[in-house]
Amino acid sequence: MKRSQVVDEDTFDRNTSVTVLSRIVRIALPLPRPLLFDYLVPAGMNPAVGLCARLPFGRGEKTGVVVAVDPPDAPPADKLKPVLELLEDIPPLPSEWLALTAFAARYYQHPLGEVISAALPPGLRRAVKLPRDDDPWLATTPAGRLALGEAKKITRALAAVLAVQSAGARRRSQLLGDLDGDASGAIREARAKGWLEIVARAGEREPIGALTLNTAQQAAVHAVNDAAGSFRPFLLFGVTGSGKTEVYLHQIAHTLAQGRQALMLVPEIGLTPQLMERVASRFPGANLVSLHSGMADGARSLGFVQALKGEADIVLGTRLSVFVPLPRLGLIVVDEEHDASFKQQDGLRYSARDLAVWRANAEKLPIVLGSATPSLETWQHAEAGRYTRLDLPLPAVADKPPSLRRIDTRRVKLDHGLSPGLIEGIRTRLARGEQSLVFLNRRGYAPVIACPQCNWVSACPHCSANMVFHAADRALRCHHCGHEGRVPHICPGCGNQDLHAFGRGTQRLEERLGEHFPEARIERVDRDAVRTPAQWEAVRARIEAREIDILVGTQMLAKGHDFPMLTLVGIVGADAGLYAADFRAPERLFQQLMQVAGRSGRGELPGEVLVQTEFPEHPLYEHLARRDYPGFAKRELAERKMAGFPPWGYHAVLRAEAPELDAAIAWLNTARAVAESLQSPVMLYDVVPMRLVRRARLERAQLVLESDNRPGLQATLAALMPLLYALKCPRELRWHIDVDPGEL
Ligand code: ADP
Ligand code: ZN
Ligand code: ZN
């Protein structure tokens, strides 16, 4: 028998119903199609919207989430399979959470079941039982503090003590997330040695160590505090060191004092132990949950469930944290809101920043987007008055910004990419005992190995890209698919023994600097040399201890705090970003250079930035020299307006990949014809091969859709998607849609 009305847990009268009717749940399952499935609820289970469920599916099992109970249009009960298990010991996901995932599914044109699955931590996704109450609060003992004080070397057990020490007390699950390597082993050892003990939750509720705010900070804090309980988006505009984090901490304190929860999103690389420590030590009594994809599954699930139960006070995490359910949420902060890592590049291609704004609107909260170099989308919102801009000028205590000088590389002879001016600058710093940083955003030794006789190059067999030469292990590595090979001793094309490495990466620069300055202590910082947050911490400690004279590295170096002895920043090979094909390239370049330029001259000593360029008059460098983000944004926005690019236009990209390029193009052309038949005002570009056409043995092509208004684009996509799902698709072809793509 079919029920005629949607009924949920609150309104359903369980006593009378169970005897009369069989109950049905509608489930979102992680499948690549936008379908929902109905199941029968066996007697004894209490269905509710938002519960996770384990279900028979095909020959196996799947886990999904109940999105409706007793839907009116369900098929007869005798046609349905029964639910295997409802995970009733986890509270149902709240309706706001389901609304957020439903919006993400709709907006990014992605199946709801897959959105829900992506939004859940891996443990819940697989419906594994959570360990019960295995999450005590741990505090350091006097013996632990003594051991820490006397230690010559931080062992893994002491690392655990150290992580707890700064926070006063820490939940075990959180500690697991903080530590590298065998974290549970480290905690076990520290407890066996009597250095850590289980305590009741810390009672202290007052934030400690808050700084007295300057006038601009005060104004920013008040503006956001006054907006509590209503949707108000803010742009907190200030360079690194202007006190943004301090402002967030005051706003969070206000939020907690009202008994509400705060969510703070940071970029992938921004979730450093220092930030964790700063937040944890400011709010010793608060339950701080940190979440990032590198955490163990168990710790992630526990953090998620603590948040869901309302036990977490602050959630601090990377983009995936935007999906953490928070029943008492009062404030969202997105730090470095322009950072590209907020956009997911596969599966559900969402922007955590954009979803955060949507969430703040849906849940009636203030949201603070912070940056020194906001995305042009956000900047334009502020210019148009939709977001309130809060400016933090550099406080008077900070020294004046570094001077910026351009070195015209057309007029000087470069030595392996280094100009005499830069070499001289480094030499001066060395003599004065100061530090220099050389920035080159390309890792490896050389981007290609080639044969000058027959023109053989070290091409990746699976991609339309060259394999990069890594000198340390004499390997060739493809940075797109990860394919590795040995450097050949003779040319595979003609047998020539004299192969050349062309161009340069950070390794080669490091080598050349070593030849110039044999007495200097040089350290390279890129993804090959520094793989974990702990390693980055170690490098930073060496910089601060003045154990490093010259740093060479990629954009990894752009983040992070001030090094007072660092007085010279050299920028090498930045020009590529000026005329790149992607329309966002100048914005990214400016953001990176502003950040890396800001590394110098923050202490007592004046800083200098040297930019090696063939285009010294380029306006981007003019704005950079004046540290003039608003001027840069104005000019760039004007160009984007003429071209109809975001934030003046809206894009979606339909991409297809297949072993043969023709197949991908043919499918996209069919899709294009289907889109054309909708006769919508959305503009359809020609189907073209992607710039990196071949990656990991697949040929890729794309179709760009463009509209001057978002609802128009959304309506067209909504109409188009079912037609695309219905299209015949060759077995080895994969396609996806990317709404608001990061690049075109
Ligand atoms: P941002 O997040 O913009 O980089 P921070 O909040 O980290 O800035 O502040 C930079 C430095 O200035 C930190 O060392 C911080 O402790 C200090 N600071 C911030 N605000 C104040 C203040 N009002 N008074 C004194 N020091 C401050
Ligand atoms: Zn050859
Ligand atoms: Zn490759």
Distance CA 654, CA 737 (A): 5
Q: What is the pTM of this model?
A: 0.87
User: Which residues pair with residue 683 across a beta bridge?
Assistant: 706
Of all helices (H) and strands (E), which one includes residue 61?
strand 60-69
The pLDDT assigned to 124 comes to 78
Torsion on CA atoms 64, 66, 68, 74, rounded to nearest 10: 50
Q: Which of 163, 400, 442, 175 is nearest to 299 (CA)?
A: 175
Burial status of residue 738 (CB atoms within 10 A of its CB: 0-12, 13-18, 19 or more): buried
Nearest CA-CA partner of 621 in 611, 634, 606: 611
Roughly how many angstroms between the first and final C-alpha of the chain, as a whole number?
Answer: 52
User: What number of residues does the chain have?
Assistant: 744
Q: What is the pLDDT of residue 147?
A: 87
pLDDT of residue 11: 39
Q: How far is the CA of 473 from the centre of ligand 3 (A)?
A: 18
**CA 392 to ligand 1: nearest atom:** 3
Q: What is the pLDDT of residue 133?
A: 54
Rounded to the nearest angstrom, the gap between the alpha carbon of residue 565 and the centroid of all alpha carbons in its chain is: 30
Sheet holding 232-237, edge to edge: 288-291, 314-317, 261-265, 329-335, 366-371, 232-237, 388-391
* Burial 266-284, CB ≥16 within 10 A → b, else e: bbebbbbbebbbebbebbb
For residue 213, the ligand closest to its alpha carbon is 1
The rounded distance, in Å, linking the Cα atoms of 449 and 446 is 7
Q: Are 468 and 405 in contact (CB under 8 A)?
A: no
What pLDDT does 139 receive? 83
Name the residue of 213, 246, 397, 399 to mutate for ligand 1: max ligand atoms within 8 A of Cβ. 246
Q: Whose CA is nearest to atom 11 of ligand 1?
A: 241
- How far is 30 from 49, CA to CA, in rounded Å? 17
Do 605 and 546 meet the contact criterion of CB atoms below 8 Å apart? Answer: no
The strand pairing partners of 233, in sequence order, are 367
Residue 474 CA to ligand 3 center (angstroms) comes to 17
342-380 burial code (b ≥16 CB/10 A, e <16): bbbeeebbbbbbbbbbbbbeebebbbbbbbbbbbbbbbb
Kindly list the distances between the CA atom of residue 285 and the CA atoms of 137, 176, 204, 608, in Å, as whole numbers in the listed order.
11, 19, 5, 43
Candidates 313, 316, 286; CA nearest to 204 is 286
Give which of 114, 110, 117, 118 is closest to 724, Cα–Cα: 110
Ligand nearest to the CA of 494: 2
CA 595 to CA 17: how far, in whole Å? Answer: 63
| Low-confidence residues in the chain, pLDDT < 70 | 1-21, 127-134, 166-168, 200-205, 395-400, 560-561, 601-603
Which ligand has an atom closest to residue 479 CA?
Answer: 3
Nearest CA to 410 out of 193, 602, 236, 575 is that of: 575
Q: How many other CB atoms sit within 10 Å of the CB of residue 84?
A: 17
CA angle 230, 235, 238 (to 5 degrees): 145
| Ligand 1 atom 9 nearest Cα | 243
Q: How many CA atoms lie within 13 A of 578 on its CB side?
A: 14
Rounded CA separation 339/559 (Å): 11
Ligand nearest to the CA of 482: 3
pLDDT at 397: 54
Tell how far the Cα of 366 is from the centroid of ligand 1, in angstroms. Answer: 22
Distance CA 440, CA 419 (A): 14
Query: From the CB of residue 670, how many other CB atoms can be counted at a distance below 10 Å?
Result: 15
Distance CA(1)–CA(77), nearest Å, equals: 7
* Closest atom of ligand 1 to CA, residue 213: 23
In the chain, the amino acid numbered 203 is: G
Cis peptide before 267 (omega within 30 of 0): no
pLDDT of res. 736: 97
DSSP 136: -
Ligand 3 centroid – CA 467 distance (Å): 7
Three-state DSSP class for 332?
strand
Cis amide prior to 122 (ω within 30 degrees): no
Under 8 Å CB-to-CB from 673, ≥6 apart: which residues? none
Which protein residues touch ligand 1 with a CB less than 6 Å away? 211-214, 217, 238, 240-246
Cα(59) to ligand 1 centroid in Å equals: 58
In this structure, is the dihedral angle defined by the CA atoms of residues 502, 504, 510 and 515, taken in order, positive or negative?
A: positive
